[in-house]
Amino acid sequence: MDEYNVLKKKEEKEEKRKKRGFFAIIGDRLKHGRLLFLLAAFILTLIGLTTSTYAWFTSNYTVSVQQIDVNVSSGSGIQISTNAETWKSMLILSDITNPTNYSNAVNHVPASTDNINPVSTVDDVFVNASTPSAGLQMFKGTVVSDETTGVSYLNTSAETDGDDANYIVFDLFLKLDFRESGTKQIYLTSNTGITTASGGPNTFIEYAGRMGFVILGDTASTTEPANMRSIKGTASSPVIIYEPNYDVHTQNGLVNARDNYGITGYQTSGNADAVPYYGVKAAFAYDKTIPNSGTPLNDTTSSKFKAVTPDIKTRFGNSANFPFTTLAVGVTKIRVYMWIEGQDIDCENTASGGKVSFNLGFSLDPPSTASPTATATSGT
């Protein structure tokens, strides 16, 4: 009888304890030193999940940069146009996307809710055989995981300068209409760069932004507009790649650099050098039927990637004009690209869903003093 009562009381006690809930049970056991190791391991696992990050954007995250603003301006002595006929000192988004610009105009801003996804490119000129027209070949990347090992690999697909592109591209005509001949040094204005658009949110995706310029060719300002528009460039057309905000990074970006690219030694701000990266130069896919045969995120195979050294870079908050290139007096046709560089360390999940403004200004005025916040490593 006594034994029966003891067992019954024990069962009643256990039933009451269960009704107190999961955390109460853990508390009871912690008092006796039980589950201590398990709980500690659980907490460490949570910390690991909250600090992990991925290059590019993975499919289960918002893969967009919303509310794209584009503004292009020019100072005294420079006129700009998207059709070589209507010349202005300032262009806004509607000027670039105007469908009446001219036949076969390359003027594209993603229209689907103003979203762009990360892409990557190098400074090689691609000539579209069907147009033909010279430009930068862009590649959209997606991260896939091996079903057996969980290792992340990169897939890429080529994108063209068309309606479905995940980047901004437009043809810009710059007119330097002077009595003299020769060339002029052109500067980019202090407001040129990529910033958070009004209203945010600020995810700091602008840290991974780039601009690119393909100098397609030039002609006299007296040339007929139709002939200006027909300038298409060649495989040897000069390319200029510009990286703004090169000296700042997010903490998650630094984790991404360490975990996916093996890059260390940088801090969140005040870096003296830009982080080196390898842009994508070819399309490639992971064959799931061949385990562990994919392209790792830190791959540098020359047939797939190429080291990119931006020709121009500026620090965050640059406040002075800086050198762009020299252009011939007359009219120069330039294909302008604006994108989020997928191979940049700050292009990772937590930076997705931001809102950015791309601003581009041209000037004949050099900085009033030597600018400590802008450098031109090369030009055309």
203, exposed or middle or buried, with CB in 10 Å at 0-12, 13-18, 19+?
A: buried
Quote the pLDDT of residue 325: 97
> Stretch 269-280: mean pLDDT, rounded?
97
> Stretch 177-195: mean pLDDT, rounded?
91
Reported as a single tens digit per residue, the pLDDT across 107-140 is 887 765 557 789 999 999 999 877 788 999 999 9
Of 270, 265, 276, nearest to 300 by C-alpha is 276
Highest-pLDDT range among 20-29, 46-55, 177-186, 241-250: 241-250
> Stretch 148-161: mean pLDDT, rounded?
88
Distance CA 29, CA 36 (A): 8
> What is each CA distance from 149 to 68, 145, 152, 172, 288, in whole angstroms?
38, 8, 9, 48, 11
Dig out the tokens for 198 from the structure: 């009004």
First-to-last CA distance in the chain? 100
Quote the pLDDT of residue 39: 36
Considering just the CA atoms, what is the radius of gyration of the chain in Å?
Answer: 27
> Stretch 61-83: mean pLDDT, rounded?
75
Reported as a single tens digit per residue, the pLDDT across 318-365 is 999 999 999 999 999 999 999 999 999 999 989 988 888 889 999 999
H or E stretch covering 359: strand 355-363
Domain ranges of the chain: 2-46, 64-376
Q: Residue 53: which pLDDT band, with cuts at 50, 70 and 90? A: low
**Are 233 and 216 a contacting pair, CB within 8 Å?**
yes
Q: Give pairs for 364-368: CB < 8 Å, separation 24+.
A: 364/75, 364/76, 364/77, 364/78, 364/184, 364/185, 364/186, 364/187, 365/75, 365/187, 365/321, 366/185, 366/187, 366/321, 366/323, 367/187, 367/320, 367/321, 367/322, 368/320
Q: pTM to 2 decimals? A: 0.82
Least confident of 295-304, 307-316, 348-357, 358-367: 348-357
> Stretch 268-280: mean pLDDT, rounded?
97
